[in-house]
Each structure stands twice: as structure tokens, then as C-alpha cells.
Chain A
Amino acid sequence: MNIPISYNWLRVHFEKDIPAPNEIATLLTKHLCEVEGMEVRNDDTIFDFKILPDRGHDLLSHHGIAREVSVLSGVPFKKIPTEYQQSFEKTEAILKVSVSDAHLCPRYMGRVIENVGVGESPAWLRARLESVGQRSINNIVDITNFVMLELGQPMHAFDLRKLSGAEIFVRKAHEGEKMMTLDNKDITLTPETLVIADSKQALAIAGVKGGKDAGVEAGTTSIVFESANFNAVSTRKTSQRVGIRTDSSRRYEHGLSPSLTEEAIHLATKLLLEMYPQARVGEIVDVYPEPQQAQTIVITVSDINGILGSTLSPDEVEGIVVRLGFTHTRDGETFTITPPLVRLDLSIKEDIAEEIGRVYGFYKITDAPLPDFAFTARPLKAYYYANLIRDTLVARGFSEVYTSSFQKEGEFAVLNPLAEDKAFLRKNLAMNIEQALELNVRNAPLLGLDEIRIFEIGKAFPGVMEEKLLCAVGIELTKAGKKKDTMTREALEEVRTVIGEVLGVAIEGVFTTNVFELDLGALLDTLPEPKVGAPFVSVGTRYQKISAYPFMLRDIALWVPEGIPNDEVLAIIVHEGGDLLRTKRLFDVFTKEFPEGKRTSYAFNLVFQSYEKTLSDEEINNSMLRITIALRARGWEVR
């Protein structure tokens, strides 16, 4: 979630100067999160930070970001003071709170404040809110918003006078219960929805939006401040159900620590007292049946260095832990760490290692080559044979297309399709290839083609829970005349034969007028394990700049035992030939009986060319020598 943060607001948290805005941006980019924007407004700079999802607990606030600036820059952090006088004239109303479901509302804090008023906010408060794009509403609402933007804890204020008695009920809504929101939206509630209510009716949708009936407005003289913790998942689902997303619900969705509510209610009280020193402040009512327990994590410096690949010393680790403000004890190289309660993201060793690494700087990590594993990579049949067929078809003038996995009709339905014509997974590739042929026939003159020849290799879904790897080849002969269908069929039959020859098996498949489709997945079971997994270089299809220097030709011929595919030979030639080998072509193959068994002869044309100079015979002879040595090393006879 992105959050606007004001540089001037951050500065309130420090007595000393902090780094300039662009330095802050660099520091946080390296150590915390992406900075998606920076805008100078008046005498301020507004950052747009993209807070990582696991830090929504504590960083959707100026306090949280200022803490990070302190950790990363070393400038000491100063909390915004929340202290105020502690003795007040007794309030008339005594607040009571009852919470029906502690899972949905782990903590509810409330307090009555009387003898206050509603009016304009002081200039400083309006300026703070406006600097980060918030509109000032009135002093009370502005205080709750300010507290949320400062501490990340959403708050709410009810007009006590409008409540039926000073008792708050946090409960699930009744079926069909209605509430009008502050912005005049009528909402019909469902029993999954948690509401804040008085003895008669719902006053707010918990964590999402306040209701009109208990809203603070001109004439309000006594209020109830709410500083509560609501369940993340239930708040998100409620927000989706009622179609209202607010700054408050977004924060609850990340899951907040219940420990935050206390600081928030004190800050709000203090700010209100600054405006109304004569206010009567009631006791805080705190319903918190299961207080949050601190996490304790034991980690050694070896653990940290093992995960990060770093060489941090125990003292360096301790220095970072101290900067982070984590309570800790140290025994040799073993640390027992207790992160602050707001850091809900830290519970295992790896979390601490990440935290240390982040502050130290991931960019400082050095390379270490992978250990020499006892692992032998096996070629993957599906990858190897799909690519073999691709090369075979491309060599015969077919172009590869990718088409949508969604279709308007099929057997396997999508529960939440993007559109009606994408309601099913494609049941075959043939239908998509037919459509692609139609599209490309229209563009044939533009493409400069008389024949459209295309293919696709991909997954199709012929039935419920069925997934198949298919290959479909399509041909449209735009200039074929009367014999078109026959000629198309002949061309498709030829494709079948060619694929069969390359794979060494007979190919079954389905013909339509324009398309031949085969079940490649089923075919794979009948094919031998490939000897090599790669390379399948992107031959012949990438733009190559043209060399100004002449090219030179060489041929090479060799005997290999029968069954060695020419690709295996070529891979060695390509590898040894290096950058100077521009082009290769197999021009002759035959097999002959020898006393020791059948052998196959391959002969290749090789073309050498440099981008930098005219090649000498000597340079090419060296390349040919390397190729010859490598081929002989396999026990093959180079002729």
C-alpha cells in the first residue's frame, strides 16, 4: 500500500537535522521500500512510499517512517509527546463497553470527553492534514485523522449526546439491520458484519466507516473517543461486502498490533485538551481480554551469516539490533531478541536475519559461487521435444503463434471469467489456430504472404480437470484455387510425416480442413529420454547486424555411431566455433554398415565471419582445429 509522507512532518520527530529529502529517498530505497514519487509542495516534500505488505503493521504512519529514518541515518528519534495533566473534574457520563467477539475485536479502548466543542482546527493541524492530501473536516475528526496518520492507528469519535446511554456494544449486526454512513450511504448489514452500537442501533461499521446518526457535528459538546483493534480478515471482507474502503479499513486489513491503541488515545486526548483545556476527561475503558505476548527469538551470528552469506561480527550484529530498538540479551554469539509489539512481522530466525541484512544493506552482499553439488540435471522431455518440433516447423516455413487459453466455448469452465467470450479454458488448440488463420489471411497482403503457415504448442483442457499438451499446425493457401482443400490436406499430411521423422515415431492426430492437431503430451511417453536438455538457441530469428567483412567457408564431415542425432554434433560445433561461426548447415547424411556396426556420416557447411576484421586462414584453421579436437574427444572419426 502506498502512503504519502510529509518531510516536514517527519522532522517533528527529531531534535537534530535529518538528511535532505533526496538522501532520505535513496536511503529508504536501499534499506526499506520503493519510493514511487517525490513532490515538492510549498516548503515541504511529499514522498510516495510503497510500503511492503508485511510492514503495513507499523509503517503506514509518520511515526513508523520516522523510526526507520532514525535507524538508517543514526539521527536520534524523538516521540511526539503524549503527556497531559491527569486529574480532571468528574465526567457526567460513565462509559461502559461490551465486546461480544474478542476474535473480531481483540481490544476496544474508549473514553468520554465532555465540555468540548466542534469547530475549525488550528492552522498547524489543517496544514499537516492538507500536506498529505487530507481535507480538514472539523477539529475532532481532524484529531482522529491526525492520530491515524501519525501512529497508524485508526480512531473514531462519536457524539455522546446522540447515543442512547453511555454504553457501547461491539457486536455482529442483526440480519437486515440498517445504517446510514457519514457520507449518506444507506447500508443494509448482514450478520457477519461487526458493528459498534449503542443499546438501540448500529453506529458504525467496525474499522470501516462511521454512521451518520452518531457523527460529530456543530453543536457537539461531549464525545466518545474510540481506539480499537479489529480483525484484519474480517475488516477486509466487511469492506468488500459493503463496498467501502477507507484509510481506516486499509490499515486494519494489514493487521495491527493491539498495543497501538493506547498511544493513540493518549495523543488524541492531549490534542483535544490543547484546544479545550477545560474539558472533563473520563477514565479509559479498556476491553483487552488477551493481551498480546511479546515474541522472543533466539538467533546466532552464524545463523545470520549463513542465511545472508555475510561476515558480520557479533558486535556489528549487536550494533544493528540496538539501532533497531529491539530488546536483547547476548551470550557470546547467541542473541535473544524481543522485537517491539508493533513488529508483527518478526517471529522466526529468518525474519531477524532479513531485518539485520536490510539495515546492513542487501546491496553489500558479495557473490559466492554455488557449492559443487552432487546433482545431475536430467533433460525434460516436454521441453526438449516441444522445442525440437518448433525448430522443425520453423525450418519448414511455419511461424509460431501464442493464443489465448480462454475461449467462448469449452468443457472446463472458469468460475470468475473476465468476459462472456472467455468463460471456458480452450478445449483444443485447433479452434484458436482456425481463428488465427482467419486473422492472418486478412493481413496476408501486408505480410507479403500467399500462404499462412502457423503452429502453436501449448496446454488445452478437453474436459473437466483435464490438461493436455497439444501441438496444432494450421495452413491457409490463399491462392490455391479449386484444389485448395486437397492441397492443404497434403501439406498437413507432410507436416505429420516430417514431425514423425524427426521424432522417429508414427504420429496420430486430428485433421480439420485447415488444421492438424496432435497430442504431444501422450506422444512424450513413447519417446526416448533426450540426451541433452539444451541448448535450443534462438537461431535465425533474432536481428543480426550485418558485417562489413567477407565471410569464409569450410566444410566438415564425420562418422558417428548410428543413432547420434545431428543436433548433438551441431551443439559441439556451435560451442567450439564461438562467435566467429556465423552459419552452419547440414548438407549430407548417410548410414553405412561397418564391421563394428552401423555408422552415420554427417557433413556440414560452416560459415565464418567477424564484425571487426577480415579473418585470416590461420584464425579459421584454429577454430576448425578446436572443433575437430572436440569431436574426436567423443570418439568420432572426423574425415
Chain B
Amino acid sequence: MTDSRNNKGAQGHLHPLTQIVREIVDSFVAMGFEVADGPEVESEHYNFDVLNVPKDHPSRDMQDTFWLKPSEDGSPNHSTSGVGLKGVSQTVLRTHTSSVQARYMETQKPPFKIIVPGKVFRCEATDATHEAQFHQIEGLVVGEGISLSHLQYTLNEFFKRLYGTQATIRFRPSFFPFVEPGVEVDVSCVKCSGKGCGMCKQTGFIEVMGAGMVHPNVLTASGIDPQKYRGFAFGMGVDRLVMLKYGIDDIRYLYSGDLRLVNQF
């Protein structure tokens, strides 16, 4: 669909990240999902504790997570004893959009289906394929009798909307503290449709997201009875999809404010 204003010289350009986020969010909204969001500055409580990430898990280390100085005198807020005061002291830049899960679950009663786009942060040196900031989209469905079959159906529907009716997905074993079972989701290669090519390293599939059944500890921590309800969650990196789709070779261009990138879209 082209808008006529595109034909005028004065038309500006929408950032490719916005475009892909819209495509993805629109697909889920069409399936009845609600868009939700949450803060980028997040408490240790929502980013880690309620997501069943152990107190001493390495992902909480300063090598992986940006910690913030919330007090005026600049005193460190990262205590190794980790007293996770909710939304107050132990403050991080959220490392995933999964932090919105508990925020939503605490205030809403199941059943629900949400999709959460947002910027996230990891403390890692930047290069062509790594940025300290990037975008994720998280999905969460909680209701009675939800199973991995429902997750697979939902993701199949989504990828068919995104990549066309020939797209298929497959699950592989994986591990994330906030889901059990946990799976890695591969989608049939958009370039060769599963036959094998350079883009998919001859495997016919591309790894696109992590997913699984919401861990009962996560439901319990958010006040939802895991005996009654089950849910599934999934999360995907948006930047990589953008880079794959358009053949962008350096992730840093996406956050440089550079029209040499943006004006190609």
C-alpha cells in the first residue's frame, strides 16, 4: 500500500525499526492482542526477581546490566545482597521487555493477550553486530488451558502474516528462567523458504525468538494462580530482523541519527 504523499518530493522517511515494529505489532493486534508498555528505567524487582531469575544470576552482574545511580549523592544502588525493593532502590536499564510481564499481570485479570514493543539495554561493548541499546517485542498470553500448541499456532499465524503463507516455524529446546518449558523458535528462511542458502547457513531456518510456557513462579509472583491459569510468552529482537531484511551490515547505524540510513526507507 502506497500513500500518494510518497510521490511528492517533500515526503519524509519512517525509521526502519518503526516500520518493522508496526508490521509486527499490527499482526498481533489483528489477532486481538493489546499493545502494552513499561518504563525503560526499571527496578530489579520487575526486571529480574519476579521473572524467576536467581538472586545471584550472572545476568545481574555489572558486566551485563546497566545499573543506575538513583540517589542524589551518587551512592551505588547495586547491593550484592539484593534487597529487591519494588520500583524503588535497585534500579537498572531494563534488559528485556519481559519486565512488562509482571507489571501488566499485577493489574489485569486473565485472560489476556498483550504485545509489548520497546527499547532495552545490555552492558556490552558495541561493534557491528552488538549495541548497548536495541529493540525487543514481547508477547504474553495467559488464560485457562493454554499450551505450547497455542503458542505454536499463534507464532505460525504471525510469521505467515509477516513473511507470507509459506512460512513455517519449528521449536527447539532452550532455557530462559521465566519459562518452563522453554523453546527456541526458528522460522523457515525468508530467502530460500527452507531449502538452504547462505543467509540461513544451509539450515533452511533462522533463529528468531525465545519462547515458552510462563513459569509458575512468574505467575505466582504476579498474583495469578498457576493451578488455574497457564500462559505462554515470547520475545524477539527487532534489530536483527531489520538487518536481515534489508541487509544492513552495522547495527550502530540504527541509533546514529544518520539520514544516510533512514532516507533509504
Which chain A residues have a beta carbon within 8 Å of chain B's beta carbons? 29-34, 52-55, 233, 236, 253, 305-310, 348, 350-351, 353-354, 357-358, 362-363, 365-371, 373-375, 377-380, 382-383, 387, 390-391, 393-406, 412-418, 422, 425, 432-433, 435-436, 439-440, 443, 446-447, 449, 452-454, 456, 458-459, 461, 464-465, 467, 533-542, 544, 574, 581-585, 605, 607
B74 CB contacts on chain A under 8 angstroms: 413
Q: How far is the CA of A249 from the CA of B129 in the complex (A)?
A: 29
A467 CB contacts on chain B under 8 angstroms: 39-41
B190 → A minimal CB distance (Å):
15
A535 → B minimal CB distance (Å):
4
Q: How far is the CA of A393 from the CA of B255 in the complex (A)?
A: 19
If A371-B143, A375-B112, A402-B255 touch, does A33 touch B173 (CB 8 Å cutoff)?
A: yes
If A368-B150, A415-B68, A458-B119 touch, does A439 touch B35 (CB 8 Å cutoff)?
A: no
If A308-B181, A371-B143, A534-B26 touch, does A362 touch B148 (CB 8 Å cutoff)?
A: yes
B126 pairs with A418, CB closer than 8 A: yes
A353 CB contacts on chain B under 8 angstroms: 180-181
Q: How far is the CA of A540 from the CA of B2 in the complex (A)?
A: 5
Q: How far is the CA of A357 from the CA of B62 in the complex (A)?
A: 35
Q: What are 14 of the A-B contact pairs (CB < 8 Å)?
A: A358-B181, A362-B172, A367-B153, A369-B153, A380-B37, A383-B35, A397-B10, A400-B18, A416-B66, A435-B257, A536-B25, A541-B19, A584-B1, A607-B4
B140 contacts A by Cβ under 8 Å: no
B182 pairs with A367, CB closer than 8 A: no
A383 pairs with B37, CB closer than 8 A: yes
A370 pairs with B68, CB closer than 8 A: no
A401 → B minimal CB distance (Å):
4
B34 CB contacts on chain A under 8 angstroms: 375, 377-378, 380, 533
A277 → B minimal CB distance (Å):
45
B15 pairs with A400, CB closer than 8 A: yes
Interface centre among B14, B121, B216 (most CB of A within 10 A): B14
B193 contacts A by Cβ under 8 Å: no
If A418-B132, A535-B30, A537-B26 touch, does A367 touch B152 (CB 8 Å cutoff)?
A: yes
B237 → A minimal CB distance (Å):
15
Q: Which of B67, B125, B183 contacts A414 (CB 8 A)?
A: B67
Q: How far is the CA of A369 from the CA of B37 in the complex (A)?
A: 26
A368 CB contacts on chain B under 8 angstroms: 147, 149-150, 152-153
A307 pairs with B230, CB closer than 8 A: yes
B257 pairs with A387, CB closer than 8 A: no
Q: How far is the CA of A568 from the CA of B189 in the complex (A)?
A: 35
A434 → B minimal CB distance (Å):
10
A433 CB contacts on chain B under 8 angstroms: 257
Residues of B35-68 contacting chain A, CB below 8 A: 35-37, 39-41, 56, 58, 62, 66-68
Contacts A365-B148, A415-B62, A583-B2 given; 17 further ones with Cβ under 8 A? A307-B148, A309-B148, A350-B215, A371-B144, A394-B14, A396-B12, A400-B13, A400-B18, A405-B93, A425-B41, A449-B259, A458-B119, A533-B34, A534-B35, A535-B26, A539-B1, A583-B3
B68 CB contacts on chain A under 8 angstroms: 412-415, 425
Q: Chain B 98-124, CB within 8 Å of chain A: the 1/0 string? A: 000000000000011100010101010
A363 CB contacts on chain B under 8 angstroms: 170-172
Q: Chain B 173-203, CB within 8 Å of chain A: the 1/0 string? A: 1110000111110000000000000000000
A583 CB contacts on chain B under 8 angstroms: 1-4, 7
Q: Which of B4, B76, B141, B215 contacts A585 (CB 8 A)?
A: B4
Q: Which residue of B lies closest to A350 (CB)?
A: B180
B259 pairs with A452, CB closer than 8 A: yes
Interface centre among A402, A435, A467 (most CB of B within 10 A): A402
Residues of B133-151 contacting chain A, CB below 8 A: 133, 141, 143-150
A236 pairs with B40, CB closer than 8 A: no
Which chain B residues have a beta carbon within 8 Å of chain A's beta carbons? 1-7, 10-15, 17-20, 22-23, 25-26, 29-37, 39-41, 56, 58, 62, 66-72, 74, 76-78, 91, 93, 111-113, 117, 119, 121, 123, 125-126, 132-133, 141, 143-150, 152-154, 156, 170-175, 180-184, 213, 215-216, 230, 254-260, 262-263, 265
B213 CB contacts on chain A under 8 angstroms: 307, 350
B259 pairs with A354, CB closer than 8 A: no
Q: Which residue of A lies closest to B58 (CB)?
A: A236
A32 CB contacts on chain B under 8 angstroms: 173
A370 pairs with B150, CB closer than 8 A: yes
B41 pairs with A461, CB closer than 8 A: yes
A383 CB contacts on chain B under 8 angstroms: 25, 35, 37, 117
Chain A residues touching B, majority SS: mixed
If A33-B173, A308-B181, A443-B260 touch, does A538 touch B19 (CB 8 Å cutoff)?
A: yes
A556 → B minimal CB distance (Å):
14
A247 → B minimal CB distance (Å):
17
Lowest 10 CB-CB distances: which A-B pairs, in order? A309-B149, A436-B257, A354-B181, A309-B147, A540-B6, A377-B34, A585-B4, A362-B171, A368-B149, A538-B19
Q: How far is the CA of A375 from the CA of B119 in the complex (A)?
A: 27
Q: How far is the CA of A544 from the CA of B4 in the complex (A)?
A: 13
A464 CB contacts on chain B under 8 angstroms: 69-72
A395 CB contacts on chain B under 8 angstroms: 3, 5, 11-12
A351 pairs with B2, CB closer than 8 A: no
A531 → B minimal CB distance (Å):
13
A370 CB contacts on chain B under 8 angstroms: 31, 113, 141, 146, 150, 153-154
If A367-B149, A395-B11 touch, does A537 touch B257 (CB 8 Å cutoff)?
A: no
A544 CB contacts on chain B under 8 angstroms: 2
A375 pairs with B111, CB closer than 8 A: yes
B256 pairs with A390, CB closer than 8 A: no
Q: Which residue of B lies closest to A537 (CB)?
A: B1
A377 pairs with B5, CB closer than 8 A: no
B22 pairs with A537, CB closer than 8 A: yes
If A398-B12, A415-B62, A541-B265 touch, does A365 touch B152 (CB 8 Å cutoff)?
A: yes
Q: How far is the CA of A205 from the CA of B76 in the complex (A)?
A: 29
If A399-B13, A414-B68, A533-B35 touch, does A374 touch B22 (CB 8 Å cutoff)?
A: no
A307 → B minimal CB distance (Å):
6
Q: How far is the CA of A350 from the CA of B177 in the complex (A)?
A: 12
If A374-B111, A584-B4 touch, does A308 touch B69 (CB 8 Å cutoff)?
A: no
B11 pairs with A354, CB closer than 8 A: no
A380 pairs with B180, CB closer than 8 A: no
B171 pairs with A459, CB closer than 8 A: no
Q: How far is the CA of A489 from the CA of B23 in the complex (A)?
A: 35
A446 CB contacts on chain B under 8 angstroms: 260
B148 pairs with A308, CB closer than 8 A: yes
Q: How far is the CA of A497 from the CA of B86 in the complex (A)?
A: 41
Interface centre among A52, A309, A432 (most CB of B within 10 A): A309
A399 CB contacts on chain B under 8 angstroms: 12-15, 259, 262-263
B69 pairs with A534, CB closer than 8 A: no
B260 pairs with A307, CB closer than 8 A: no
B111 CB contacts on chain A under 8 angstroms: 371, 373-375
B29 pairs with A535, CB closer than 8 A: yes
Q: How far is the CA of A536 from the CA of B263 in the complex (A)?
A: 19
If A418-B132, A464-B70, A465-B91 touch, does A354 touch B182 (CB 8 Å cutoff)?
A: yes
Q: How far is the CA of A539 from the CA of B156 in the complex (A)?
A: 24
Q: Which of A350, A415, A452 contacts B181 (CB 8 A)?
A: A350
A576 → B minimal CB distance (Å):
12
Q: Which residue of A lies closest to B31 (CB)?
A: A370
B147 pairs with A308, CB closer than 8 A: yes
Q: How far is the CA of A386 from the CA of B82 in the complex (A)?
A: 36
If A350-B181, A404-B255, A465-B70 touch, does A373 touch B113 (CB 8 Å cutoff)?
A: yes
A568 → B minimal CB distance (Å):
15
If A399-B262, A464-B69, A605-B4 touch, does A440 touch B18 (CB 8 Å cutoff)?
A: no
